Structure 1
Amino acid sequence: MRTVRLSGLLWMFFISAAPKLQEKTYTQEEGQTLTLDCPFSRELYLYSQKALQRRTAGGEFVTLVKTEKGSVMYNEVQVGRYYLEQIPEDSKLRIHMADLQVEDSGLYRCVILQPPKDPVILLRPVRLEVTEDISSTPFSDKYPTQSFILPSITTEVQSMLHTSSRAVTQLLPMSTASLSSPGLGVDPTQGPDVIRISLISIVVCVVCGILSKSLVFTILLVVTQRSFGP
């Protein structure tokens, strides 16, 4: 009996002497499971009610899951994603937190419940940090890329080509019309006739010029003879 009391006193001394402000940090990814082992004194707390608590935004700790109260040696309980397993032969409480989410990040502790007294802390507070699972993030979200609107550029180029072809098509009739106008006297559909007519006109002009010069020379000769005659 004295040995049990002595071990209990030593355990109480160890708990009170442990630094209360130290925290141990665990970093996990989404979907993983965190397992914690909380040792306890078999002589003092084997049949005590044990719990997992989390600190709220207000600084208070609330109980998430707790074992049954009574003389149950092998105590197991599950609430949602939290699972408590008491292992008497190892004198420890094993905690499983499954399918972790980012919102599970926070400060946790495992305790011995003894209301109306304050709970006995079995393990120093645990700081849990849950990060996003990168492997489940779409590739486009991990490496955002800038998209280029190629269809609009292609459409614009096609429009420019179409406009250019229309302009060339419109210019060809205008050139034909200007060549066939009466002012120029040239008809592209009657090219040989136009050339023949032009040559005849030139020959006529030359002949007329020669005849006119001969006529002038004859008149001058007659006038000269008369002026020097008897």
Structure 2
Amino acid sequence: MRGTGLLKGPQLLLLLLLLLYISGSQADDIGEEQECLTEGANLTVLCPYNDRKYGSSLKAWQRVRSQGPPETLVRTTTKSLEAESVRSGRFLLEDFPTDAVMKVTVIGFQRQDAGLYQCVIDLSPQDLFVLHHPYRLVYCNGEAAFPAQRKP
């Protein structure tokens, strides 16, 4: 039985347009979105995708290293069109195929979590499709947790 979904027609369209506007206004010159976080803060990011093409594909949240392949931190386990929630350590991935959105929450940000991350469609171990743009998580050393300012 299919899930009922979280959002319907106009609501989903409005959310996707809002996400596109926000991502465009916060992206820096190389297409990254930066988030300034204090230790212990939670962060949730939404990664929309094409439901017809990727609705029944595996999804993952990865850390991108300067050398070597990205490290998969959490991945869905089924290729179902049902909503799925998977947690690995402090990373929670929720996939809502009927809404065509993947939601990732970083729980209790730590200084060592600073770095570059990405949402991906995991077509096979050698075939990944990166959704959206990368997210750079920045440790803010006790400052208020606001998105980093766009470079002039």
TM-score by length of structure 2 reads 0.69
* 1:1-12 equivalences in 2 (<5 Å): none
Q: What amino acid maps onto 1:83 in structure 2?
A: L
- Say what the alpha-carbon RMSD is for the aligned residues: 1.8
Q: Answer yes or no: is 1:22 the counterpart of 2:31.
A: yes
**Match of 2:95?**
86
The 3 A distance-change label for structure 1 pair 134 and 112 is closer
**Match of 2:62?**
53
Higher relative contact order (CA 8 A, sep 6+): 2
CA contact (8 A) 1:46 1:73 kept: no
Q: CA deviation at 1:115?
A: 1.6
- Percentage identity across paired residues of the two chains: 35
Secondary structure in structure 2 of the residue aligned to 1:125: strand
Aligned length: 115
Over residues 129-159 of structure 1, what are the superposed CA-to-partner deviations in whole Å (9 max), with x where a residue is unaligned?
0223369xxxxxxxxxxxxxxxxxxxxxxxx
**Match of 1:109?**
118
* 1:92-171 equivalences in 2 (<5 Å): 92-133=101-142
Q: What amino acid maps onto 1:115 in structure 2?
A: S
Over residues 109-142 of structure 1, what are the superposed CA-to-partner deviations in whole Å (9 max), with x where a residue is unaligned?
000011254200112111110223369xxxxxxx
CA contact (8 A) 1:67 1:77 kept: yes
Q: Structure 2 unaligned segments of length 5 or more: list them.
A: 1-29, 145-152
Q: How far, CA to CA, are the matches of 2:100 and 2:70 in structure 1? A: 24
Q: Which has the higher strand share?
A: 2
Q: Which has the higher helix share?
A: 1
Q: Which has the larger radius of gyration?
A: 1
The 3 A distance-change label for structure 1 pair 134 and 91 is closer
CA contact (8 A) 1:53 1:109 kept: yes
Q: Structure 1 unaligned segments of length 5 or more: list them.
A: 1-20, 136-230
The 3 A distance-change label for structure 1 pair 116 and 104 is closer
Q: What amino acid maps onto 2:95 in structure 1?
A: Q
The 3 A distance-change label for structure 1 pair 57 and 93 is same
TM-score by length of structure 1 reads 0.47
The 3 A distance-change label for structure 1 pair 113 and 133 is same
Q: How far, CA to CA, are the matches of 1:106 and 1:33 in structure 2? A: 15
CA contact (8 A) 1:52 1:63 kept: yes
The 3 A distance-change label for structure 1 pair 89 and 114 is closer
CA contact (8 A) 1:31 1:101 kept: yes
